[in-house]
Amino acid sequence: MTKSTVRPRAAELLKAALEESSYTWLPEDPGFFADTEAGRIRAEVRADDAVLRAELVRLCEPSGESVGALRDFLGALNRRLRLARASLSEVSAQLEALIPAGTLTAEMVDEAAGALIVGVRAARKECVALLDPHTARQYLEFHNKSKEKNSHANNDD
């Protein structure tokens, strides 16, 4: 099967799963969106997978400290999340859930959307706070000291 035949099939599977989902999905190029209590979730096909995505925070000329603090925070968040992954781009910090199109069901869409909602609720305030350069600097200093302390403790063994 070629990419050109897989993508339309994946799009059909996504559309069918969204229609059966408990959320109200509306079309929006290149996919769909649902407005939830935690904000907008977008769904689209990427290669052979369905991707559900929720924005944590939009970046507008962030300081270097903010980018560093967000990168560290999102890395820590990824170690705790289930079904979703946090990422940082030039324009936003976001959560994504990836579902292989061949296993896509309405239940999986609902579970992934639920995971994104929980993740957004848990992390959005922290991400917003880390956009403040002063807060980001304090965050980085605290975590660097903690890492140094743990490093020294491990070396003392």
pTM of the model: 0.84
Instruction: Tell me the chain's radius of gyration from C-alpha atoms.
Output: 18
The third-level CATH classification (topology) of the domain covering 3-155 is: Yope Regulator; Chain: A, (3.30.1460)
Residue 47's pLDDT band (boundaries 50, 70, 90)? confident
Angle between helices 64-78 and 106-130 (to 10 degrees): 140
Average of pLDDT values for 55-61?
A: 96
Average of pLDDT values for 82-87?
A: 93
> Which residues lie across from 42 on neighbouring strands?
33, 53
**Is the pLDDT confidence value at 75 over 80?**
yes
**Is the pLDDT confidence value at 136 over 50?**
yes
